[in-house]
């Protein structure tokens, strides 16, 4: 592997092994390679073979940031008294992974959608039990005729539901443990940490048992009581829907007066609204799944638009960070010789933190050097390389001497700050006061404070110097841009300037995509599960509808309706239900997309994702819903169409 350090030549070194460091963010997400070498290898690479960083663990209160800060400052003071120079103290958020925001976003989605799935499953239980009671209403009448009491019949169904719930729970718990372990391993791999224990708290098993047994019993109570209270006369003389169930509502009269509509469609529409309570439950199931699917698609579209702003807000191709500040004239002279460079802007760049006078600076940067970092940037006057969206206040002006513009990540680090307030930032060990002039939204960058080039040079004492270069090039592809970076490094090296980092904008985009892929995949997987619940609910509803209309279907067959006509009526009814559920799903998806986008955006990058309607979400969801609805109704429709006239009229 070819390695180059700030003060040494490029050298090839052998890879001797692989290690796992859980304190670092995943390399694939950060597009960064981490390596560990010995002091001897450091000398071979052209650097002084000395150690310049001290890492400590505190014995008391290891997760209390204030306690850690106090201990670290005390150690720094002792080192300074011993004539050691302490430049900076790094104290990351204790006990918090650099990608904790991602994990919290995933867990929020899982908990929210698990509650939703439990609610939909409970509705499905009520629907299935209702279907069973409808199917067995004659048997209930016979049992009552020979002496069975209402309580005994209800007890039979309650026992059955309880046993089925217990069996399902017994099967679900090991499957849930397996799924949780697989999911945990996948997330751990994505976020670069090791699961130390797979032990599940006992209360989780209690919650599973309660949701698997008590919830079905609770939801089955109403249909069981309703069915077990039926009289012998009502049960024996039950022929399905009563005549008075249609025609008593204003909507019924509207459907009756429809003209120019196919008789098949008209019958399907009328049948759909005959059991409004059942229709509402079915629509709720289907609309929830469809709404979640469209929400997932919308969040993906919003995130892609968010990622796209990396290019829209930044008008450069490559960003170069230098190890040390260099004179601008030397940099421009070196870059003029590089083929493919079309425009150059020189920026000031320094790490910063909120200043605490009289004390060593403490920054919240993680060991990877990126997460938790806070930088101060000297902005060239009239820059054309960036055009950030203004959230509050104004952008910098060339004459500004003490104005600072914060991005949203820096704004989140300073609670309560507002436009016009004065903040104190540490710059190379000196506390500098700045007046907050504006807040901007910056995609894909850590906490940053922007000041004018003039103000930066005065504060840092580096007039005419720069430490960051932003470049536009004529390179067409990623490979060509990498070649441009190599040429820039070589050109700068000839003038004694060493490059710390060369970052093509495309790599930043790839890193951002990797950060959110797990969230989007979670949304889509959850939407599929909710959709399956909706399909089961629709199939149950259509089966109940066919059972209740058995006599009606027989009359239709007797007066000339063909099996194909019967099947078309039932399938059309299912498709109409699916189409209506799609309308409600669209209505659900808009506020849900706003809510999820806000939560995911704030947890991950301190900025809400705006509402973006995916152009594929609605049509794709409509096609899927109509196909699934038709397929769900096809089986009961096929069964109904095969019944003979004699058998149907003999029903009851």
CA–CA distance, 135 with 582 (Å, rounded to integer): 29
Per DSSP, the residues of 531-566 read: HHHHHHHHHHHHHHHHHHTHHHHHHHHHTT--HHHH
CB hemisphere CA count around 165 (13 angstroms) = 24
- Provide mean pLDDT across the span 263-282: 75
Query: Is the full-model pTM beyond 0.85?
Result: no
CA–CA distance, 626 with 578 (Å, rounded to integer): 6
255 pLDDT band, cuts 50/70/90, is low
Closest-CA residue to 406 (of 359, 468, 354, 472):
354
CA–CA distance from 192 to each of 78, 89, 142, 318, 376 (Å)?
35, 25, 64, 28, 29
Higher pLDDT, 440 or 366: 440
For 583-626, how does the pLDDT look when each residue is reduced to its tens digit (9 = 90+)? 999 999 999 889 888 877 776 667 787 888 888 889 988 998 88
433 forms beta bridges with: 424
Closest-CA residue to 88 (of 351, 375, 349):
351
CA–CA distance, 288 with 532 (Å, rounded to integer): 11
For 129-174, how does the pLDDT look when each residue is reduced to its tens digit (9 = 90+)? 887 887 788 788 888 888 888 889 889 989 998 998 899 899 989 9
Average pLDDT, the chain: 82
Q: What is the largest CA-CA distance in the chain?
A: 106
Range in 109-118, 143-152, 207-216, 381-390 with the lowest mean pLDDT? 109-118
Domain boundaries, the chain: 2-89, 96-238, 318-511
For 504-557, how does the pLDDT look when each residue is reduced to its tens digit (9 = 90+)? 887 777 767 766 676 677 777 777 777 777 777 777 777 777 776 777 777 777
- Would you call 470 helix, strand, or coil by DSSP? strand
Range in 19-28, 444-453, 488-497 with the lowest mean pLDDT? 19-28
For 285-295, how does the pLDDT look when each residue is reduced to its tens digit (9 = 90+)? 788 888 888 88
Per the CB < 8 A criterion, the answer to whether 642 and 563 are in contact is yes
251 pLDDT band, cuts 50/70/90, is low
Most confident of 226-235, 264-273, 434-443: 434-443
- Provide mean pLDDT across the span 104-115: 76
């Amino acid at each position: 592997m070819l390695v180059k350090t700030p003060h040494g030549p490029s050298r090839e070194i052998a890879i001797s092994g692989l290690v796992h460091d859980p304190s670092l963010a995943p390399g694939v997400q950060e597009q960064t390679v981490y390596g560990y070498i010995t002091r001897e290898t450091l000398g071979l690479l052209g650097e002084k073979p000395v150690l310049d960083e001290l890492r400590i663990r505190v014995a008391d209160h290891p997760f209390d940031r204030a306690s850690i800060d106090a201990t670290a400052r005390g150690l720094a003071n002792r080192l300074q008294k011993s004539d050691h120079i302490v430049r900076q103290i790094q104290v990351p958020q204790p006990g918090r992974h650099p990608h904790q925001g991602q994990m919290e976003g995933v867990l929020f989605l899982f908990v929210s959608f698990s509650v939703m799935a439990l609610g939909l499953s409970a509705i499905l239980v009520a629907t299935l039990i209702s279907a069973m009671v409808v199917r067995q209403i004659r048997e209930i009448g016979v049992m009552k005729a020979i002496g069975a009491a209402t309580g005994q019949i209800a007890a039979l169904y309650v026992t059955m539901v309880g046993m089925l719930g217990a069996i399902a729970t017994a099967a679900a718990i090991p499957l849930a443990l397996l799924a949780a372990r697989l999911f945990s391993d996948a997330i751990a791999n994505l976020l670069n940490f090791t699961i130390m224990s797979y032990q599940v708290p006992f209360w989780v098993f209690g919650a599973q048992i309660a949701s698997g047994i008590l919830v079905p019993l609770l939801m089955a109570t109403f249909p069981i009581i309703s069915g077990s209270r039926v009289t012998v006369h009502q049960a024996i003389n039950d022929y399905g829907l009563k005549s008075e169930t249609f025609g008593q509502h204003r909507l019924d009269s509207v459907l009756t007066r429809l003209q120019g509509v196919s008789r098949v469609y008209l019958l399907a529409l009328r049948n759909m609204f005959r059991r409004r309570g059942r229709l509402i439950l079915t629509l709720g199931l289907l609309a929830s799944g469809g709404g979640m699917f469209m929400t997932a698609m919308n969040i993906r579209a919003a995130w892609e638009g968010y990622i796209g702003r990396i290019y829209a807000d930044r008008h450069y191709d490559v960003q170069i960070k230098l190890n040390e500040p260099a004179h601008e004239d030397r940099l421009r002279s070196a870059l003029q010789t590089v083929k493919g460079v079309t425009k150059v802007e020189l920026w000031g760049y320094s790490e910063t933190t909120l200043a605490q006078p009289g004390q060593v600076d403490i920054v919240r940067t993680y060991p990877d050097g990126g997460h938790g970092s806070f930088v101060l940037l000297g902005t060239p006057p009239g820059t054309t390389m960036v055009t950030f969206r203004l959230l509050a206040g104004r952008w910098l002006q060339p004459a500004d001497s003490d104005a600072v513009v914060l991005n949203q990540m820096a704004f989140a680090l300073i609670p309560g700050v507002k436009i016009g307030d004065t903040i104190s930032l540490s710059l190379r060990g000196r506390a500098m006061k700045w007046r907050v002039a504006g807040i901007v939204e910056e995609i894909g960058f850590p906490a940053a404070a922007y000041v004018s080039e003039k103000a930066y040079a005065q504060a840092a004492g580096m007039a005419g110097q720069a430490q960051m270069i932003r470049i536009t090039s004529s390179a067409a592809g990623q490979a060509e841009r990498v070649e441009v970076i190599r040429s820039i490094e070589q050109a700068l090296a000839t003038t004694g300037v060493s490059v710390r980092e060369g970052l093509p904008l495309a790599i930043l985009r790839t890193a951002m995509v990797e950060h959110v892929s797990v969230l989007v995949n979670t949304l889509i997987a959850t939407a599929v599960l909710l959709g399956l619940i909706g399909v089961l609910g629709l199939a149950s509803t259509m089966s109940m509808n066919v059972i209740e209309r058995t006599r009606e279907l027989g009359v239709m067959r007797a007066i000339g309706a063909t099996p194909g006509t019967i099947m078309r009526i039932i399938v059309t009814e299912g498709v109409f239900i699916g189409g209506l559920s799609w309308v409600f799903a669209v209505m659900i998806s808009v506020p849900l997309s706003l809510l999820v986008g806000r939560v995911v955006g704030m947890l991950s990058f301190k900025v809400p994702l705006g509402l973006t309607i995916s152009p594929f979400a609605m049509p794709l969801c409509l096609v899927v819903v109509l196909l699934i609805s038709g397929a769900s109704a096809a089986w009961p429709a096929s069964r109904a169409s095969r019944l003979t006239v004699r058998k149907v009229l003999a029903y009851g």
